Structure 1
Amino acid sequence: MLPTILALFLACTLGLVSAHGGLSNYTVGDTWYRGYDPSTAEEEQVGQPWMVQRQWRTIDPIFDAESKFMACNDPGVSVGKGYIDVEAGEEITAVYYYWLHPVGPMTVWLAFCEEDCTTLDVNKVGWFKIWEAGLLEGNLAEGMWYQKQFQRWDGSPGLWPVRIPKSLKEGLYLIRHEILSIHVEDKPQFYMECASLNVTTGGKGMPGKEWLKRFPGVYKRDDPSIKINIYTEEAMRTTNYTIPGGPVWTAE
C-alpha cells in the first residue's frame, strides 16, 4: 500500500510547477464574461469597462493560510468597472482552462458590496460561503475528491457551476472561488479569484453576522484540514474530511 502512496506523492510533487492554474472566465447562460489574464499585458486590461475580475498576477498559489492576499489573490485589487449579471437562483459557471491538481476542497463565497464592488476593501468585508465540495468517497490519499473530478488532462476546460441562492437579496456582490490543494505534505496551496456580480430578481435573504467571516482570519495555519499529510497509513484509513471555513449558508 505504501508504494502506491509514494507513487502518488512523487507524481504530484513533480507536477507542482506545471499544474498550477486559475479562473479564466465566467458564463451565465449564453453570456461570456472575460476574467483577468496574468499572461496578457496589464495595460490592455486595467480600467476596461468589461473587466469583471480582480487582478491576480500569477498562476502560482498562496501558501500561507493567513496571508493578506487570501481574500482575492495577489494583489486582488479592482482593475475594471464590469459586473456579471446573474439572477438569484441562476447558475454561474467558472471556467478553468488548465487544472491538474486532484486533492482538496473547493468553496465559493459571496460578499455584499453595498453600492460599489470596485471600491470594496476585500479584507474588511464580511464573506459567507454558499457552496462547497470535498472528499466524495474513499480515503484521503486515494479517494475521489470533487477536485479530481474537476481535473483536466486533455486540454478541455474545467467547468465549475454554482447556483446563486434563490432567496438572496438582489444587489451587488463579490463572488470568490477558492481551490485548496493539499497534495503536498504540510504545504497547502490556495488558489482564489474574485469577480463583481449584479444579482437581480432576488428575494430578501441575507446572512446574519454569525455567517460573515473575514480573509485573512477564516483559516489558521495549524488547522488540521489545512496542515495535513495525506500520505500516511492513518490517511489511508480516514474516509472523512472537514472542509475549512465553516458551514454553507443555506439561505432558508
Structure 2
Amino acid sequence: MAAVVVPLFLAALAALSGPVLAHGGLNNYTVGETWYRGYDPNTPAADQVGQSWMVQRPWASIDPIFSVDDKHIACNDPGSPPTSYIPIQAGENITAVYWYWLHPVGPMTAWLASCGDGDCSAVDVNEVEWFKIWEAGLLEGPNLAEGLWYQKAFQNWDGSPDLWPVTIPASLKPGKYIIRHEILSIHIENKPQFYPECAHLEISGAGSAFPPKEYMKKFPGAYKADDPSIRINVYGSEDTMNYTIPGGPVWDG
C-alpha cells in the first residue's frame, strides 16, 4: 500500500496549484491519521495514473455531470482504475477531503459496490451494483432555498480542508469495494449538477452482512431525469421544507 502519514496542512500545500474558484472535487482521503493522495485533474495524468500510491479513480475535470443517463455519473470521467487500495476496517470512518467547495444547496451521498472475488481495477463501474451507506440533505429551515444544507455546513472558509466523514457499516462482510462519494448541487433551477468521485477500499473485519437486492442500484439507472428531487426549482417550491434525497434508502448494516 502507498499510505503515507502526513499532517493535513502539508497536504494543503499540494492543493494550492489548483483553481480556487468553481466547484472543487474530492482530492484526498483519510482513515485515522493516515492520508491518501487522490487524483488532481490539474496535474498531468501521466504523473499519476498507474502510480503505486493511487487509490482514486481519476476524474478529468471539476466540471459537473448534468445527465442522469451519462455513463460517467458512476465515477466521473474518465474513471480509469487505480492500482492501490485504502485499507479500512468495517466500523471505521473514511473522510473525504475537499480543499474547496462553493455550492451550498443539495444532497450528498456515499455508496459502496462490491468487487466480488476479483480486483476492483477490472470492474465495470456501470455494471456493478451500488448501495447507499450515508446521506445528508437539508439540515434546517426556513425553506429549501434559504435553509442550511449539509453541502454548505461541511464547508470551511478559513483555508482548512472541507472534511466529509462516512462510517463503513460495522457488520459489512470484508472484501474489496469501490466507494463512491457524490455531491448533487441543485442551486440552478431545473439544472442538476452531479459531482461523483470513486476510490478503492480493502475492507477488513469480522462482519458477514450484505445488503439485500432492494438496496442495489446501478449508475446510470439509479436516478430518473424527472425525479422531483433532481429536476427541481428550490426557489419556487411550494413545499418549503420537505426534500427526499434520491437513490433510495441507506443501508447501515
TM-score (norm 1): 0.89
Q: How far, CA to CA, are the matches of 1:88 and 1:159 in structure 2?
A: 20
Letter aligned with residue 134 of structure 2: W
Residues 178, 190 of structure 1: 8 Å contact kept: yes
1:11-160 equivalences in 2 (<5 Å): 18-78=21-81, 80-114=82-116, 115-138=118-141, 139-160=143-164
1:156 is displaced (CA, Å) by 1.8
Indicate the residue corresponding to 1:240 in structure 2: 242
Go from structure 1 to structure 2 and tell me whether the alpha carbon gap of 1:239 and 1:119 turns closer, same or farther (over 3 Å shift).
same
SS for the counterpart of 1:69 is helix
Residues 99, 150 of structure 1: 8 Å contact kept: no
Letter aligned with residue 219 of structure 1: Y
Deviation per residue, 1:207-238 (Å, 9 max, x gap): 1122111000001111100000111262xx51
Go from structure 1 to structure 2 and tell me whether the alpha carbon gap of 1:233 and 1:219 turns closer, same or farther (over 3 Å shift).
closer
Deviation per residue, 1:140-163 (Å, 9 max, x gap): 011111111012333221000011
Q: How far, CA to CA, are the matches of 1:65 and 1:50 in structure 2?
A: 31
Go from structure 1 to structure 2 and tell me whether the alpha carbon gap of 1:233 and 1:95 turns closer, same or farther (over 3 Å shift).
closer
Deviation per residue, 1:147-204 (Å, 9 max, x gap): 1101233322100001100000001000000000000001001001000000011400
Indicate the residue corresponding to 2:8 in structure 1: none
Go from structure 1 to structure 2 and tell me whether the alpha carbon gap of 1:44 and 1:230 turns closer, same or farther (over 3 Å shift).
same
Letter aligned with residue 211 of structure 2: P
Indicate the residue corresponding to 2:11 in structure 1: none
2:226 pairs with 195, 198, 222, which one?
A: 222
Letter aligned with residue 107 of structure 2: P
Q: How far, CA to CA, are the matches of 1:223 and 1:74 in structure 2?
A: 24
What is the count of residue pairs matched by the alignment? 232
SS for the counterpart of 1:240 is coil
Q: How far, CA to CA, are the matches of 2:100 and 2:157 in structure 1?
A: 8
Indicate the residue corresponding to 1:188 in structure 2: 192
Letter aligned with residue 142 of structure 1: E
- Structure 1 segments of 4 or more deviating over 4 A? none
Q: How far, CA to CA, are the matches of 1:232 and 1:121 in structure 2?
A: 39
Answering whether residue 215 of structure 2 is matched by residue 206 of structure 1, we say: no
Deviation per residue, 1:60-115 (Å, 9 max, x gap): 1101122111100011121x311000000000000000101100000000000012
TM-score (norm 2): 0.89
Q: How far, CA to CA, are the matches of 1:202 and 1:83 in structure 2?
A: 19
SS for the counterpart of 1:185 is coil
SS for the counterpart of 2:22 is coil
Residues 91, 163 of structure 1: 8 Å contact kept: yes
SS for the counterpart of 1:245 is coil
SS for the counterpart of 1:26 is strand
| Percent of residue pairs bearing the same amino acid type | 69
